[in-house]
A and B are shown apart, each in its own frame.
Chain A
């Protein structure tokens, strides 16, 4: 196999993804930028007027910001976990999904912590966290874990990008000058020699193992922020593994949705195939069973022990939040299980539908972990105005939440313009090892 020629072919095949965006892509980018600007306006209002413009009050001090934080951070940890597993165990079909997973990991880890900053009433005192950290506090552990994980994920993502930057540098005909310079800088002189390749594979493998461990530690610390308190609904010994499973559940769901959209809009049916959806669907099925089991254990033990504050919480969940509870913990778990359990339901569209239900259900599940607990405090506050006791998100919070989602999608699209969403180096490695089957050849190869 002429590797240089093959690299050229791949660049030619993927260059439409990297070059000028289509009309529809521009419209999309416009909408996303509009949403982000809307969020910025909301942010300015929140900074000027303070937290009174949100639904957060004395009792419910955390709202949808913290829920988005948990959601995005868990998404990132699950991405890191899955990506690490794909690389470490050299999964055969990793090429089709690994870059999607890696980008999800890093982008969500950038977006997630922004939401925690929005929760802070006195942002001007933020630096105190670093100047006077309390090592005993899970918040400090979480800050350390997130920063370490963010740096680890950046290094890992960069390692996986280097061979593709080198390919793009060497085959950059028709690309703007600034891009050539950027690829040259980012490729750090990688020439795909056997020593360089070996060295890069070795450190990528080490980092993949490292980010699996980091993801588990960071997940655990995030869960401890809740479970180490004595609040009803949070003080639970299984919260850390429950968060890990829940994070994986949302992570795989988002990966499937991203796979579906990328496959459809970038016409990558040749690379992202039905078999990948079925594989991801089966993993989603296993995780949904585990998630259902943990959820049942969590609520059943609370219901059975019937401690007065737990009973109050369950009362709130089964009355005030009845439909949310049903959607999050029954429909959000059972519908994906039913769809994914039966082989004949396992089509690309149905697996994507199951993933959407799972992701929405899980977001609501996070909401039900945070808000109802804060609405049922140990000691009722003196001023019991309903708006102080019950939480309801304001347009400011929704605007910033949608801005976060928009920023996630926008960053994802921009990163896809920097490097191909299917790692070219992965395809070459795969073909170099002689694992390619005739049916897996690209259209150009088949024509030759």
Chain B
């Protein structure tokens, strides 16, 4: 038994040891990582502008090993020829992302062409170097119009910039994506190019909408060299009303159970209790035979 006990103890300990993943501390050497500091700007549907910096340390050897830099303070600014206007600061989240939202009436230092430069800066620490990225962009006015033309549901996208005098200059060429808001993400309907500030798309009529038949159509310019990311959206009753959003009725919440439940339960119980009754009847027969044997005169 002693040998057995020893074997079991060793087995148990070994299994226990294998199953404790956090028994050894993991040291991180920053030299094995490449810092990826990215910066982008998104002009949102409500005309506000989001500045977003992402700060990730990626392992040079293991591409799956990506560590978001948490809690790093990022300063955002608008710069023009040595002049700098601070726009705000934000700390990176657990995902390594820091962002601020600028109001729609935010004024920027712009050059002659109406372009402005935005900057994101991480000041650096003893362990990590300073990081800095700049974006040179131009403000775009993107609008989405949902109109029926000759009974055809048409998404009309207009895009223009404004010069220093406030004159609208249509966008000459920019790729645009038309999408519809789904439950979890946006479903792309069309991809095309805005020419002379306009783009049109014929919308299908069989898209499922919400309970009232509303669908939200998005137009977006993504990662453009001059304009960055620009999004605009519009909602219309162009979808098929979604009847499945109606509250379901559960027959088990009623006061009386469904008939089938009574039927199944009765069949089951009758089946079982009939067997019990049959068994007990047979027990009485055994007893009767025993009593008869007792009363029989012995030969």
Partner-B contacts on A (CB < 8 A): 134-136, 141, 144, 148, 151-152, 155, 159, 162, 187-191, 193, 195-196, 199-200, 202-203, 206-207, 210, 214, 217, 326, 330-331, 334-335, 338-339, 345, 347, 349-350, 353
Contacts and interface: CB of A to CB of B under 8 A. Distances in A.
B287 A203 contact: no
B293 A155 contact: no
Interface stretch (B53-61, B94-102, B225-233, B272-280): B272-280
B12 to A, nearest CB: 6
Given A135-B261, A189-B289, A335-B11, A203 B272 contact: no
Contacts of A134: 257
Interface stretch (B127-135, B236-244, B262-270): B262-270
A345 B12 contact: no
Given A135-B262, A206-B279, A210-B275, A335 B12 contact: yes
A136 B268 CA distance: 15
A196 B286 contact: yes
B84 to A, nearest CB: 43
A206 B257 contact: no
Nearest to A151: B276
A159 B279 contact: yes
Interface of B: 1, 4, 7-8, 11-12, 15-16, 19-20, 252-254, 257, 261-262, 265, 268-269, 272-273, 275-276, 278-280, 282-283, 285-291, 293-294
30 contacts: A135-B262, A136-B254, A152-B276, A155-B279, A188-B286, A188-B287, A189-B293, A189-B294, A190-B290, A191-B290, A193-B289, A193-B293, A195-B289, A196-B290, A199-B282, A199-B285, A199-B286, A200-B282, A206-B278, A206-B279, A210-B272, A214-B272, A326-B16, A326-B19, A331-B16, A338-B11, A339-B8, A345-B4, A347-B4, A353-B4
> By DSSP majority rule, is chain B's interface helix, strand, loop, or mixed?
helix
Contacts of A187: 290
Contacts of A152: 272, 276
A297 B72 CA distance: 40
A335 B19 contact: no
A136 B257 contact: yes
A370 B253 CA distance: 25
Contact of B19 (A141, A214, A330, A353): A330
Q: Which 10 A-B pairs have the closest CB atoms?
A: A189-B290, A135-B257, A188-B287, A136-B252, A203-B279, A136-B257, A203-B282, A189-B287, A210-B275, A196-B286
A201 B7 CA distance: 46
Nearest to A213: B272
A335 B11 CA distance: 7
A189 B291 contact: yes
A191 B265 contact: no
A188 B288 CA distance: 9
Nearest to B250: A136
Contacts of A191: 289-290, 293
